[in-house]
Every structure is written in C-alpha cells, then in structure tokens.
Amino acid sequence: MRPNKLDLADIFRHHSHQLGVLSRQNSKVVNAILDCRTPALGGHVYECDGCGTQDQSYNSCRNRHCPKCQYSAKREWIEERIKDVLDVQYHHVVFTIPHELNELVITNKALLYSMLFKASAKTLKEVFRQKCKSNPGIISVIHTWSQDLGLHPHIHMIIPGGGLNDDKTEWISCDQGFFLNVRALSKVFRAKFIKLLRKAFSDNKLTFLDVNQHLSRIAEFQDLIDLTFKQDWNVYAKKPFRQVLHVLKYLGGYTHRIAISNHRLVAFDDKTVKFLVRDKKDKHDGKSKSKVLTLSTREFMRRFLMHVLPRGLVRIRHYGFLGSSSKKKSLAAARSLIPKSSGAAAAESKATEDGIAEFLAKAAVIGEQQCPHCKSGRLVKIDIIPRPGWLSTG
C-alpha cells in the first residue's frame, strides 16, 4: 500500500498497461495526467526575492480532467466571475436523468449531454417566467459521476433570485425560499428531455453498439421511454445563499470539480485502489460521513475514464440574461435596477468585498508564488527549463 500523499498519475503510471487499447481522447487525457508537472512539459526556475533560494517548477498540462490543474483554473475562473455576480440571493438547482438512460449515454455522450443542457435550461427558463414573469440568468455545469465513480449525469445550476423583464427596464425579484416548485420543474424537464430523445431516435442520430444494440429496435426503445416516463425525475433545490463570497467559492467548487481529486485517494497496490466516498447523512447531526471504497485497479481506471468529456463539449454554459450575446448589457441593466444596499447591508457588502480580496490574495499565495523555504519572500522567474528534445531557434 502507498500511504500519505497520493496522486492519480501514480496509479496510471504503474497500471495503465491493464487498460488495453484506449480511444484517442482517453489516451490524450492519460498522457496529460502522466506528464503534468514533470520534465516532459518543461518548466521554469524561480528565485526567492527574500532568501535567494532557487526552485524548479514544471509546467502543468492544463487538461480539464487533471486533478492537479483544477486549482489554478478555478482561481482564474473566479477572478473572471467577480464582475458577473449580483447583490441578490442565489439558488442552486440540480437536474438528473434516470439511471436507466445510462445505456444510451454510454455510446452517445456528446449528444445526450447536450440534450441534458438544453432540456434543463429550457425547463428553468419556462417555469421561472411563469412564476417571476421575467428572464432568469443561469450558469449550468455538467457533472457525470457519482461518489463511487459510477455514471450519473446531472446538471448543477446557479441562478440569481430574480430576473429582467423583456425590455430590460425592470428587475423582478423572485428570491423567497426555494423560489421554484421542484415537482413542476421535474415534470417539465422529463417531458422536454424525452421529446428530444424521441426526435434523436427518429432522426437516426443515436449510436448503438453491442452494449445497447437492443435499443435500436423501436419496440425496446419505446419500452425504455415508457419506463422512464412513469418515474419522477430527480430535480432538487438546495437552500439559497446570499453572500457574494459564498457564491464565488460555491461556483468555483462546482465548475472545476472532476470525477475524483487526489485528496480522496487513500491507498493503492498492485491489485486495488482505495478511495473516500461520502456515505449517507447521519440521522443525528445530519452530516455526511466518509467511508473507504475499494475497487480493482483496472475497474478504478475504467470508471475514471468513463467521465472524460467528449472533445469540444463545453461543460460550463450560460443562459438567459447571462447568455454571451446579451450578458454585458443585461448585467449593467440589472445592477442599475437592483435596489442599492444601505446601512448594515452596505457594511456587509464592504465586508464581502474585503473577503473576496482576501480570498484571492490567499489563492495567489497558494498558487506557488510564496517561497516555501522562508515563507515570506516571493518567487521570481529567472530561467526556462525546455521540454526534452526542444531546440532553440534563437
């Protein structure tokens, strides 16, 4: 067993030969994870402006499935989103498709994930307009995994508790409680997704292989549709949150989460991988407990690679007044229309601004800018470490 600090790259480095032939996309992800922060990608030499100690730092792969690259990506994304957050209550809604549809997902990831985005966004906008008489702003993020790395496609949505009317002259608040009926959302979402699925089948856009070839027959496909239509689709809303700093941290946590992070790895050997999973909530304190799950090494790697997103699939999308075509004007209109904070609320707003500044400053330090030796100086780049085989043309 390997105790202490573990790395997903170590598991693939020692055991990737067990995987056999990989798809081009999966092979690219594995190679990126293996090369990340190693001499294979080159790097830089840094010198502390305080104690003068020199350190080498190798480049990151920047692959969106790499656990070592998500912190800096999260920090950069949060910095960009600061100017987008409004001084209103925010809501978190999750849309999930039934696990019976996983048979179709396996061979149609790009198509069904896009349908999941489309159906959930249309549902939220339609129900929101019915209740709040306005256009919402939506940030949608796709996750495809469960705690045990099983296939579990779902959409996380973060929505401001209010919206703009059609001509952007009025901000209509809709921020009480959970603000939308989840049963209504569930029914509309189910209808919209199944409509898209039926059309994809009739237009011959679905791919069937040995694992789901039986669903290519119209009778068996219809049986699947009938089965899922009888179910209550899982749509739920978490308690709303108000402070902007909480919104930013929350957003960053969801937008840059991957199937498994290094800190969840417990141990691995020649045959198995042990990792932490969240167990059911305790009946007394309501908190989730952690337990250790053991999988064969091959099964662990297979499950991880099952969550590699199709090439070109955008995993973070914006809808409503946060859509790219109208975002800048809509945000400006919303800020001018949302009632200004005063008194205690203004003091809270100032504290929030200070909290954001402190959060970003701390993130910058964690982002390898502070000297690890003297803990007070800052690392300054003084040289480049080229990739192996790189030739200078200068």
pLDDT (tens digit per residue) in 166-194: 999 999 988 665 568 899 999 999 999 99
pLDDT of residue 343: 40
Give the span between the Cα atoms of 255 and 140, in whole angstroms.
9
Per-residue pLDDT at 70: 78
Q: How far apart are CA 174 and CA 136, in angstroms?
A: 10
Summarised one tens digit per residue, pLDDT across range 288-304 is 788 999 999 999 999 99
- HSE-CB of 363 using CA atoms within 13 angstroms: 19
CB atoms within 10 A of CB 2: 15
Half-sphere exposure of 309 (CA within 13 A, CB side): 20
The residue count for the chain: 394
Least trusted range by pLDDT, from 4-8, 37-41, 218-222, 298-302? 4-8
- Between residues 334 and 345, which one has the greater pLDDT? 334
Q: How many C-beta neighbours within 10 Å does residue 305 have?
A: 20
Type of residue numbered 174: C
| pLDDT of 31 above 50 | yes
DSSP annotation of 60 reads: P
Q: Phi first, then psi: give them for residue 151, nearest 5 degrees.
A: -75, 120
CB 297 within 8 A of CB 18: yes
Token match 């089948």: residue?
201
Q: Has residue 317 got a pLDDT over 80?
A: yes
| C-beta of residue 295 within 8 angstroms of C-beta of residue 29 | no
Q: What is the DSSP string of 231-283?
A: S---EEEEEEE--HHHHHHHHHHHHT--S--GGGEEEE-SSEEEEEEEEEEPT
What confidence category does residue 3 fall into, taking pLDDT thresholds of 50, 70 and 90? very low
Q: Are 193 and 97 in contact (CB under 8 A)?
A: yes
> pLDDT tens digit string along 125-140?
999 999 889 999 999 9
Q: How far is CA 152 from CA 130, 176, 319, in A?
A: 30, 30, 23
Reported as type and span, the H/E element at residue 229 is helix 218-229
> Region 344-372: what's the mean pLDDT?
54
pTM over 0.75: yes
Q: Quick one: average pLDDT of 41-51?
A: 92
Which of the two residues, 320 and 286, has the higher pLDDT score?
Answer: 320
Please, what's the b/e burial string for 346-378 (b: 16 or more CB within 10 A of its CB; e: otherwise)? eeebeebeebbeebeeebeeeeeebbeeeeebe
pLDDT cut 70: percent of the chain above it = 85
54 φ, ψ (degrees, to nearest 5)? -105, 145
**Identity (one letter) of the amino acid at 375?**
K
Of the ranges 216-225, 315-324, 360-369, the best mean pLDDT one: 216-225
**Which of these ranges, 50-54, 104-108, 339-343, has the smallest mean pLDDT?**
339-343
In the predicted structure, residue 319 carries a pLDDT above the cut 60: yes
